[in-house]
Chain A
Amino acid sequence: MSEASDAMYSTPVYAEGLPNAPVTRRFLVCQVPQQLTDLRQQLPADDLPSESLSAAEAGDAFEARLTALLQEATIGTHLYVRGDESFLWHVRAAAYQQGLMDDEISLFRTGDRRNVYCVHCSHMQDVGPGDETTCGGCGVVLTIRTHFSKRLGAYQGVCLDPDDPYGEAR
């Protein structure tokens, strides 16, 4: 099944271009440093103040540095995030926590890792491409729907075959 044909209103759509609204300051946040270069190339060459942060470089200090950046930021700041879906929604959740709105965040997707929330046991797991996975929490074989929760940053995983929930007969 192709993703496009299944897309729902709740299925996230990622940024392709840049937002039109005026911004006064930029935060660039990426999974790996190379993506920062990619992002910078996309942005207009102006002298707006900007800060950047790469998760790979920051390592364990990533969360704390992200939070610190957001806490001292003023309105007019725009956040540009580049990475796979798991990463994008992780950063978006932290930004939301600090009071950003969707209009102040641009998410650029690369790669195909994403989070799945098991509706049966609440277990959250990071998966690759494909519409099926086995829940690491309860063992139910899940079909991954395109129904997406921004709050959880995850697609909905629900039992694929209720006649054989644990895939034992396969």
Chain B
Amino acid sequence: MAVTLNPVQTYRDDFTFRNSPEAIRRFPFPFDRDEYMYSVNIEPATPGEPGSIYEHMFDVDEHYRTEMVERAKVLEEDPRRCLLMPHMEQAGWDLLELIMTNLSHDYPELFSLSRDGDRWHWRNQALDIDQTFTFGDASTLPQEPMEYITRQMQGDFCLLDQRDGDLFMDAGMVTGPADWSMAFDAGMGFKEWHAPVPVAHELGVFERALSFLLNLQIGHPVRRLNWTMTVNPRLDTSPETFHRWGYENGIVTPENVAQVLNLRVELQLLARLPRSNAIVFSIRTYLISLEELVTNRDWACRLHRVLRDLPEELSDYKGLSDYRQTAVDWLAQFDPEASASRAG
């Protein structure tokens, strides 16, 4: 199915970002039961149903242009969001190849790639880019390969160097994080950069995830979903800008909660890169306002129960505590049990 791209909307200031009914239909609602507990929940990233976000390895959706404009703005204001240690350049080429080959195969109406040995010709019709370059020679591209290609693909990307039985975050393009800083976490090992996540360490979650990922094989990518909530459809909820957006956590009222509060879901993809032996960790973020979400009544009811019963520690970590009760109260109307007990 060919994807129809929206005109450019905004993830900031006037927040014109909206989901079409089709985008709502394919939204990755992350809860398969009425409660949430932190877990590894890694599964093989095998192709999913046509039209779903899992159909292709990299999901390009209607927000493509909006997200790429947002990325460019963030980078202009804060170049620290893109970082590549010198030993990661090979991994950057691996990533460029992986994205270009997948996008040109999966979205031929938007992207095309032709290769003649090391001479590559890349066309991106969505952003009006036509680039001929020599694969392996960074001087033939406008930016180094990781930055070049991630300015053309939705989602944040980290490149992890495998050494000493650990995975080090030694490169990344992170312009839309859920409250973590690439500039600060760069160079950290797997368990170090996950350090702020509560509870999971005691459960041995990262220990198991790490030993699984160290054995990740070429051609066998894996994925998992993660979630949090964001006030306004703000993609860049980084610590870098927290002093500018953090106050928004306090603006949620019973009157505006449906419009301003968003469920934020990350589709995380991990794949082994062949030439560098590095791992790419991509974090593709989907936002949906409660108003949009409750058009699916099953989701509305389930989200009510998950938020209501979320352990406080996780609620604090995810930064939901300021508005959680307001959201739970509003969502109760979609939960037959909750409305019944209220009526009774």
Contact = CB atoms under 8 A, between A and B. Distances in A.
A162 B187 contact: no
Nearest to A146: B195
Interface stretch (A21-29, A52-60, A65-73, A114-122): A114-122
B196 A150 contact: no
| SS class, residues of chain A in contact with chain B | loop
A120 B184 CA distance: 10
A151 B195 contact: no
Contact of B242 (A9, A122, A162): A162
A8 interface: yes
Interface residues of B, number: 26
Interface stretch (B47-55, B129-137, B245-253, B286-294): B245-253
19 contacts: A9-B191, A10-B188, A10-B195, A119-B181, A120-B240, A120-B241, A122-B183, A145-B196, A150-B192, A151-B186, A152-B184, A156-B181, A156-B239, A162-B243, A162-B244, A163-B246, A163-B247, A165-B244, A165-B246
Given A8-B196, A162-B243, A122 B80 contact: yes
Interface in A146-170: 147, 149-152, 156, 158-159, 162-163, 165
A140 interface: yes
Interface string B92-103: 000000000000
A67 to B, nearest CB: 20
A149 B194 CA distance: 12
Nearest to A140: B243
A93 to B, nearest CB: 11
A117 B184 contact: yes
Interface string A115-143: 00101101000000000000000001000
B185 A159 contact: no
A145 B180 CA distance: 13
A165 B191 CA distance: 30
B201 interface: yes
A98 interface: no
B201 A9 contact: yes
Contacts of A77: none
Nearest to A163: B247
Contact of A151 (B80, B187, B241, B244): B187
